[in-house]
Amino acid sequence: METARVRSWPRPGTGALIAALAVELVDELFDGTKSAVMPLIRHDLSLSYAQIGLLAAVPLIVGSLLELPVGIISGTGERRRRLILTGGLIFCGSVLAVGLAGSFAALLIALTIFFPASGAFVSLTQAALMDSAPARQAQHMARWTLAGSAGAVMGPLLAAALLARGGSWREAVVAVAAVSFLAWLGVAAARRSGRLLTAGLRTGEPPAGGLRTGDTPTSEPGPGDRSADEEAGWPGWRAAVGIVRRSGALRLLLLLQVSDLLLDVLTAFLALYLVRAAGAAPAVAAIGVAIRLGAGLAGDALLIRLLGRCDSRRVLRTSVWLALLLFPAFLLVPGLGLKLAVLAALTLTTAPWYPVLNAELYGSLPGRSGLAVSLSSAASLAGGLGPLAVGLLAQHFGLSWAMTALCAVPVVMLAVIFARPRSRHWLG
């Protein structure tokens, strides 16, 4: 009797893994640079707080709408690789356009183009990384987040270095565009040596928890089996709704969007808050952003070790309880030095939120990473209202009151986490 040929479950080579992490690094490099120079952009282009809120919200909402079909049509293999590389080129061009923007409208258009390009370039690379090792999704997501934090820290440092030598915010953003193109070249070069960009069900991924005891290795599909592309592709609207309802993914998406208010949204408004509410100079505010991002980098590095010893869900719940205390303390403590110290502690505390919740989202949809990407894009449509709301609150009541409203974030997260679960893929 002929032995069935067993499909391998390949992991990305070192070169492909480094290229994938570089994609996240340059994405956050741009975000960190933009956050650090936002006071200078506001002054140069004469922007109001409401316009700053629009710059955060409109690209996120419109970009997420444009990005929505990306996960659905991406599939696996060569089609996904082409989307990643095409999105990467548009990503680089949109960053360059931000650096050259001379008006609010031009800046808004450039950022709006950036978001769907980031979805194709960054989100699909992340999905491929999750497909490459389903049993280690939390650990890989922690590494991914660590790479992003490194880029986010480098952003304000790059801006501070260029400003110190008499440069402008435009030079900083153009420099990020150049680095982004280098990352794109790395991804393009890694397509032959590594298997990351073509990872997925085409290569025979096991379930999210690996093979269970007693499982039989899967042989090559026969003529009557569904193709790998059909398995990894869009299952149809009715089937997709059933998959999402059973998985518990909706609550995870809600948690991701709510938690982002104390992650990216807080970072986006941090320099403005330090200048307006804490009386810091713009250069000092940029250092404050660097401290925030540096603490995030340290937290992500510690999280990789922590996840090897502790249950990720318990780590998440504990961090939310701590944030419930630390964020109000950040707003209330006097003195810039003490405020930045509490901010660093808060950032360390919230480090598990994105990697753990995002890994749970992919884990709740085993073999459906493209569906997870599209769901994240759909959720971002609602999540885009968050920064807009903060901007409008700041415009009408002051930035201090707008930041105070974010104290509700840990409360909402705890309410969702401890709500009665209906799925085995849950955090309770």
Q: Which residues contact 364 (CB under 8 A, 6 or more apart)?
A: 247, 248, 249, 252, 423, 425
pLDDT tens per residue across span 342-372: 999 999 999 999 889 988 888 777 767 777 7
Q: What's the pLDDT tens digit per position in 13-68?
A: 567 778 888 999 999 899 889 878 888 898 899 888 788 888 877 887 787 777 77
Does the structure show a pLDDT above 70 at 212?
no
Predicted confidence at residue 422, as pLDDT, reads 55
pLDDT band at 321 (very low <50, low <70, confident <90, very high): very high
Task: State residue 405's pLDDT score.
Answer: 92
Average pLDDT of the residues in 79-99 = 91
State yes or no: pLDDT of 5 exceeds 50: no
pLDDT band at 390 (very low <50, low <70, confident <90, very high): confident
Separation CA 133–CA 155 (nearest Å):
30
How far is it, in rounded angstroms, from Cα 299 to Cα 129?
21
Q: What is the pLDDT of residue 387?
A: 79
Residue 219: phi, psi to the nearest 5?
Answer: -85, 175
Report domain extents, the chain: 14-204+250-417
Top pLDDT among 95 and 291 is at 95
Single-letter amino acid, residue 119 = G
Residue 412 pLDDT grade (very low, low, confident, very high; cuts 50, 70, 90): very high
Looking at residue 10, its pLDDT comes to 42
| Model confidence pLDDT, tens digit, residues 180-193 | 999 999 888 876 54
Structure tokens at 6: 């067993």
pLDDT at 9 over 80: no
For the domain made up of 14-204+250-417, the CATH class stated in words is: mainly alpha
The answer, yes or no, to whether residue 306 has pLDDT greater than 90, is no
**Integer Rg of the chain from CA:** 21
Q: What integer is the mean pLDDT of 65-87?
A: 76
Cα–Cα separations (whole angstroms), residue 113 to 66, 77, 90, 158, 380: 9, 25, 8, 24, 15
| 134-143, 161-170, 376-385: which is most confident | 161-170
Confidence at residue 220, expressed as pLDDT on a 0 to 100 scale: 36
pLDDT greater at residue 49 or residue 75? 49
Q: pLDDT for 105-147, tens place per residue? A: 999 999 999 988 988 899 888 888 877 777 677 777 888 888 8
This prediction's pTM:
0.67
Cα–Cα distance for residue pair 403/391, rounded to 1 Å: 10
Give 237-274 pLDDT, tens digit per residue: 556 566 666 667 888 888 999 999 999 889 888 888 88
